[in-house]
Amino acid sequence: MGNEVPERERDGTRVLVTGSAGMLGTELVLLLRREFDVIPADLTEFDVRDSGATDAFVAGATPDVVINCAAYTDVDGAESDPEAAFDVNASGAGNVAAAAEKVGARVVHVSTDYVFDGTSDRPYTETDEPSPLGVYGRSKLAGERRIAEVSSKALIVRTAWLYGHAGANFIEKMLSLASSGGPLRVVDDQVGAPTYVRDLGEAMRELIAVGATGVVNATNRGSCSWFEFAREILDLTGHRDVSIEPVTSEEFPRPAPRPGYSVLSLARLVSLTGKEPRSWQNALGEYLAER
């Protein structure tokens, strides 16, 4: 799923992407414009927190599908400024869904593994009861619920541990630290699925194509700890001599609590699309080859 993906025959579908300048939004616009008429929208076009402006822009764009990538993603910052997180992730998401509903458009919303508390001993399914630990997760869960209240045909895609070429991410942070000689101390008791936004975007395209609704998990296949992810990054980039030490979450305190285990089951995604996501290791290799 590289940049060489051919342009598909356009079917006239108009897709509005909010948060189009973000990491996922940037990739989605590049991917979807090969097949659909894409309308990118970021803060310069309208603010999702403003219901009137959101209604007006969506009505003028006349989309068939609205993909909401606009989000407050500062997990630690949300702890000290919960109002900001809820304004975007809950109220803003609800505004986008309501505006889409008014013009008869399908709404696709991006959510997170952080709606779970991480105490499961198996991958979380879409029907597991959410129990977020921090403000960020609570704000995203509130957004999911507001969307479900106002939209009759919403698709909520839960994902995790995103990285991509448009914006700061864990990979670039690790490589920057490695370039300075280290040593690195990385948490080894939080387990999830690193996910390349290109693969997430392709999964979302497939879900839209089959008319999926409800909640669907979408990540790369497999799981690892942040330490294991960092070790793979260093190994693949020739930094095997850089010292890297596994630490516990308690040894590396952050303002926001993180789930210890937030792997998401991909069974529903595979059932709906008929496609198995590639492994996080293969996706990482492609990302590194394109840096």
Mean pLDDT of 42-57: 97
Active site residues: 136
pTM as predicted? 0.94
User: Tokens 């940049």 sit at which residue?
Assistant: 3
For residue 8, name the pLDDT band (cuts at 50, 70, 90): very low
Are 204 and 69 contacting, i.e. CB atoms less than 8 angstroms apart? no
pLDDT of residue 12: 84
For residue 207, name the pLDDT band (cuts at 50, 70, 90): very high
Q: For 215-268, what is each residue's pLDDT tens digit?
A: 999 999 999 999 999 999 999 999 999 999 999 999 989 999 999 999 999 999
Distance from the Cα of residue 21 to its chain's centroid? 14
Mean pLDDT of 185-209: 97
Q: Residue 3 pLDDT more than 60?
A: no
3-state secondary structure the chain: CCCCCCCCCCCCCEEEEECCCCHHHHHHHHHHCCCCEEEEECCCCCCCCCHHHHHHHHHHHCCCEEEECCCCCCHHHHHHCHHHHHHHHHHHHHHHHHHHHHCCCEEEEEEEHHHCCCCCCCCECCCCCCCCCCHHHHHHHHHHHHHHHHCCCCEEEEECCEECCCCCCHHHHHHHHHHCCCCEEEECCCEECCEEHHHHHHHHHHHHHCCCCEEEECCCECCEEHHHHHHHHHHHCCCCCCCEEEECCCCCCCCCCCCCECCECCHHHHHHHCCCCCEHHHHHHHHHHCC
Q: For 131-147, what is each residue's pLDDT tens digit?
A: 999 999 999 999 999 99
CB atoms within 10 A of CB 64: 18
Token pair in block for residue 192: 């999830």
What is the total residue count of the chain? 291
Q: Of the candidates 277, 256, 259, which has an alpha carbon nearest to the alpha carbon of residue 267?
A: 277
For residue 153, name the pLDDT band (cuts at 50, 70, 90): confident
pLDDT of residue 10: 55
Q: Residue 2 pLDDT more than 60?
A: no
Mean pLDDT of 69-81: 97
* Percent over 70 (pLDDT), the chain: 96
Least confident interval from 2-6, 94-98, 235-239, 256-260: 2-6
Q: Residue 91 pLDDT more than 50?
A: yes
User: Tokens 């609205």 sit at which residue?
Assistant: 66
For residue 25, name the pLDDT band (cuts at 50, 70, 90): very high
Are 243 and 186 contacting, i.e. CB atoms less than 8 angstroms apart? no
* Percent over 90 (pLDDT), the chain: 93
Fold category of 14-169+193-221+264-278 in CATH: Rossmann fold (3.40.50)
pLDDT of residue 6: 42
Peptide bond into 40 cis (omega under 30): no
Q: Residue 7 pLDDT more than 70?
A: no
pLDDT of residue 11: 67
Q: Is the dihedral of CA 40, 194, 115, 104 positive or negative?
A: positive
Phi and psi (nearest 5°) for 186? -130, 140
Mean pLDDT over the full length of the chain? 95
